[in-house]
Structure formats: C-alpha cells, structure tokens
A and B are shown apart, each in its own frame.
Chain A
Amino acid sequence: MQYLLMIYQNEVEYAKMDPATGQKMLAEYQTFTQGIVQSGNFKAGDRLQPTTTATTVRVRDGKTLTTDGPFAETREQLGGYYLVEAKDLNAAIEIAARIPGARIGSIEVRPIWVYDK
C-alpha cells in the first residue's frame, strides 16, 4: 500500500518560531527523512512555500480562472495531486487547467521549497 502523509500546520506560528527551535525542527526533519529512506518507506516528499505564494486555478465554461491564494472551498476535499516541472507559474497554471478536476473543483498551485545549496 502507498499512503500520502500531509503535513498541516499554522504558518503564522511557524514563521514566528525562534531560529534555534526552527533549526532543531529542521534537523529532526532531516533525521526523519533519512530514517524512512533507509527503511525503504520513502517515495517522495517536499516542503511547500507558504500559502501566500499559492494560486488557485479553476476552469469554468472553458475559461481558466485564477485567484490569489489557496482558497479551496471548504466543501472541497483534497482528492489527488501531481508534482510537475514547469518553467514558470504561467506554464504551471496552464498544466493545472488541463487537469479534468479543474472543471468541477479547484487546483491549488503551490511552489516547492528549494533549499539553498
């Protein structure tokens, strides 16, 4: 079986966390990731940029509608995901608009956090 583990947290609180606690948390995440990689459970995982960078895409009457932010309606539930490579947000929105679910629900487009090398 495969499972998607979704991490929910209060962004505002998280951003306010003092640097030392943040560093500790980051280290814990690294340990955890290494652990599930070694145990063979790991398939994929990423940190997301905050919701302020999100764009929600809907297609209605053949037109692509975009809104600022993650405003999925509360009566909509997460039903699936795609991780895609796209050259910029326009390309990502264009792909999102082709997902069949965009016509009846909404697709939240959120950039993946890339750590400085």
Chain B
Amino acid sequence: MNPGEIDRIFRDEAGRALATLIRLVGDFDLAEDALQDAFAVALERWTACELPDHPRAWLVNVARHKAIDRVRRQVVFRGKAQQLVHELELNVQAGDEPPAMLDDDMLRLIFTCCHPAFSPEVQVALTLRTVCGLSTAQVARAFLVSEEAMSQRLVRAKQKIRLAGIPYEVPERDALAPRLDGVLAVVYLVFTEGYVATSGANLMRSDLAAEAIRLGRLLDRLMPGRAGIKGLLALMLLHDARRAGRANSAGDIVLLEEQDRTLWDRAQIEDGLRLVDDALGTPGRPQAYVVQAAIAALHARAPSYQQTDWPQIAGLYEVLLRIGPSPVIELNHAAAVSMVDGPARALDLVDAISARGALKGYELLPAVRADLLRRLGRKDEAREAYIAAAEATQLEPLRRLYARRMRELE
C-alpha cells in the first residue's frame, strides 16, 4: 500500500469511524484524538503489510483502545475518578455493532453538527470537518479564514456540544422534519459555495460541490424515500452536470444561453432526472428543493436555450413562491417571464421588487436589470446597471462578464 491510497481510505472512512467512536467514547474531542492516533498506527502498519479486510472496523477498534489509553493517562494526570475509565471500557469493549447501528451513528453525527444551536457557518464548518473528513486547513480555505481562526471556531463548537449538552442523537417524530430541513440547508450551503464561490478568483470550487453531492447521496441512502433529500440531490447533480460548460479555459463565465450543451455531463444528468421523477412521485406537499430540481431538469432536457420550456419554468417559479415567498425567487421568476412575455414585462416585475426595497444589496438584482435593459435596447440605462452590478459583486469572473456586456453595448 502506498501513502496516497492509505490517505484516500482515511478520507473515505474518517467520517463514519468518527461517528461510531463519538457514540462509544461519548466525547467529540476524545474521539477525534483517538482516531488520529489510529491513523498514525495504520499509516505505519498498512505501508508495511496488507490492508485489513475491514479498514473502518480496524480503525474503530484501534481508536477505541487509544481512547482508553488517553483517559487512563488523564486519570493519572488529573486525578479524575477511576469510575470513568470503567464506564468507558465497558462501553468501548462491547462486541461488533450491527450495520444499522453504524448508519445511525453517521446520522447522529450529521444531526449534531447541523444543530440549530450553532450558527449556519459553524454548522457547515463542523460538517465539513467531521462528516466529510476535511482537514481544518481545508475548511479554513473554504471559509477564506486562517487555519488558526477556523481551529478556534471548531474548538468552541465542540466545547458547546459538551458543555451545553447538545445530544448525540437523531431527532424523533415531530422534531425530525424541521431538523432535517436544517441539515439540507447546510448541504445546500456547501454546494452553493462550491457552485458559485462568493468571492475569490475562481467561479467554482468543485471540491465543495463534490462534498455536498457526497453528503446528499449519503443522506438519501441513510433516510430513503424522502422527497426533500432526493430533490436536493437531484438539484445539485443537475447543476453540477453543467460545470464543464459554465466557464471557458480562461475562467470566464459562459452564460446558459451560450453554453455548449455537449459539454454537459449526460450520465450525471440522467442520474438527476431519475431522482427528480422519484421525488415528484413521492406523496406529500410539494417541496421547494423538488420544484427547484424540476426547473433544473427542464433546462437539462432542453436542446437549446431558445427551445427551453420557459412557460413551465415560469409556472414552477410561481409554485416556489407559493411554498415560500422570497424576493430572490421573484427575481428568477422575472427572468423566466422575460423569455415568455418579453423583457419589458419582466422589467416591470424587477422594478416592482426593487421599489419594495426587498433586494437592497443583493448583487444579482442590478445584473438582471442590466440584462433586461440591454435586450430592450436601452443602452445608457443598461450601462449604468452593469456598472452597479460590477460594483456589487466580489467575484472576478462576474466583473469580467459585466465588462464584456458593456463592450457589446457599444
């Protein structure tokens, strides 16, 4: 085994091994430290000889003994009650767990990391660190903060789990639906940050998008038959399938209307379309992610921008507005309406939104206005709106797009 392969196994198994260890040892930090110890042992042993049949079980096994060692040392060091060690030993030396229990561990970990007592940023950071197994440095990069600052944030979060008594469990009955919504929101936040980075030189950070899709698949497997999960997974797959078409080799944005659709990942689109159908066939009230996925599916199925089913897309945005009113969706609705009833009608809608002040500071509002004004041939106003759009964004590729649009106005 070479270190690269071993590293990949660590990445794959870290989240699940940690999830089980936290239940066994009852403490996040202790579980993490013990797992790191086990990784160190594995790196040494696996390089020298063969990989064990069940790497994860092996890691959990070694780590649970490392955890006992650590607690023993603490007992000697701090004079803590010997009772603790006995409890831990009893817990940790229980026999092998049935697979269903291990799946539950993973869900416990996800629901704990996405607990509403944490701010959304902390939920995302904890999930990336523990469930996805990213290093603290990688999580810090995703948030554009220093490793030290991120490490501090994670330490504080884990301290809150322990001190405030955040339970390591999957919520039951009535509590489950709202908590699952929270989990899906975290997954979607990870994805959107990967899909359109909020700042920086690159339009997309595909590693984060891939993590989000991995999380979505995991959730769909652990909690099968839930429309919201399937909808979100479909939405992410369909958007991500267009990745190769969304930017050119210079890193410039290629708009949907200009994209070479042969660059889209057809296999992934098929995967997404199947999930949308599945989700739409699940009984219950319509869910926002499913409707959004249905919109993405119409784009993915369309042979070209012009031959897209715009009336149905505009209709689906209206469904979304009924599920949960939001000025951002209104803006998307207006953009779809521009393809059905023309840009003048859409501009009325957009101006109505800005007159309410609902999207003040939302960077895509001037961009949508600029586009509609350009299509209406109102060049001066369009130019002004593009300048406002360029000022509002922190993303270089978007600035270049607006500059290009302004040049095209001449």
Contact = CB atoms under 8 A, between A and B. Distances in A.
Given A90-B175, A116-B80, A49 B164 contact: yes
B164 A90 contact: no
Given A88-B165, A89-B167, A90-B175, A52 B156 contact: yes
A52 B166 contact: no
Contact of B117 (A87, A93, A116): A93
Given A55-B164, A89-B117, A111-B165, 15 more contacts: A49-B164, A52-B156, A53-B163, A55-B117, A67-B119, A86-B165, A87-B167, A88-B166, A88-B167, A89-B115, A89-B165, A89-B166, A90-B171, A111-B163, A117-B81
A116 B167 CA distance: 21
A68 B119 contact: yes
Q: Per DSSP, are chain A's interface residues mostly helix, strand or loop, or mixed? A: mixed
A70 to B, nearest CB: 12
B163 A90 contact: no
A52 B165 contact: no
A72 interface: no
B122 interface: yes
Give the 5 A-B residue pairs with the shortest CB-CB distance, closest first.
A68-B119, A55-B117, A88-B167, A66-B116, A53-B164
B159 A52 contact: yes
Interface in A37-63: 49, 52-55
6 contacts: A68-B117, A89-B117, A89-B165, A89-B167, A90-B171, A90-B175
B160 interface: yes
Contacts of B46: none
B118 interface: yes
A111 B167 contact: no
A92 interface: yes
Contacts of B80: 116
Contacts of B118: 68
Name which of B81, B164, B166, B175 has the most chain A CB atoms within 10 A of its CB: B164
B119 A89 contact: no
Interface string B142-171: 000000000000001001100111110001
B283 to A, nearest CB: 25
Interface of B: 80-81, 115-119, 122, 156, 159-160, 163-167, 171, 175
A90 B163 CA distance: 13
A89 B122 contact: no
Contact of B165 (A54, A69, A92, A116): A92
Nearest to B120: A68
Contacts of A111: 163-165
Nearest to A90: B167
Interface of B is mostly: loop
Contacts of B163: 49, 53, 111
A67 B160 CA distance: 13
Q: A55, A92, A116, A117 — which one has the most chain B CB atoms within 10 A of its CB?
A: A55
A109 B117 CA distance: 10
Most buried by B among A52, A88, A90, A117: A90
Contacts of A116: 80
B160 A52 contact: yes
A53 B115 CA distance: 13
A55 B157 CA distance: 12
Interface string A91-117: 011000000000000000101000011
B109 to A, nearest CB: 16
Contacts of A69: 119
B296 to A, nearest CB: 29
A67 B156 CA distance: 15
A42 to B, nearest CB: 25
Contacts of B116: 66
A92 B159 CA distance: 18
Contacts of B115: 89
A111 B160 CA distance: 10
Contacts of B119: 67-69
A93 B116 CA distance: 10
A43 B117 CA distance: 31
B167 A66 contact: no
Interface string A65-79: 011110000000000
A29 B119 CA distance: 34
Contacts of B159: 52-53
Given A67-B119, A68-B118, A68-B119, A89 B164 contact: yes
Nearest to A93: B117
B62 to A, nearest CB: 29
A16 B67 CA distance: 30
Contacts of A66: 116-117
Nearest to B175: A90
Contacts of A117: 81
A59 to B, nearest CB: 13
A87 B169 CA distance: 13
Nearest to A114: B163
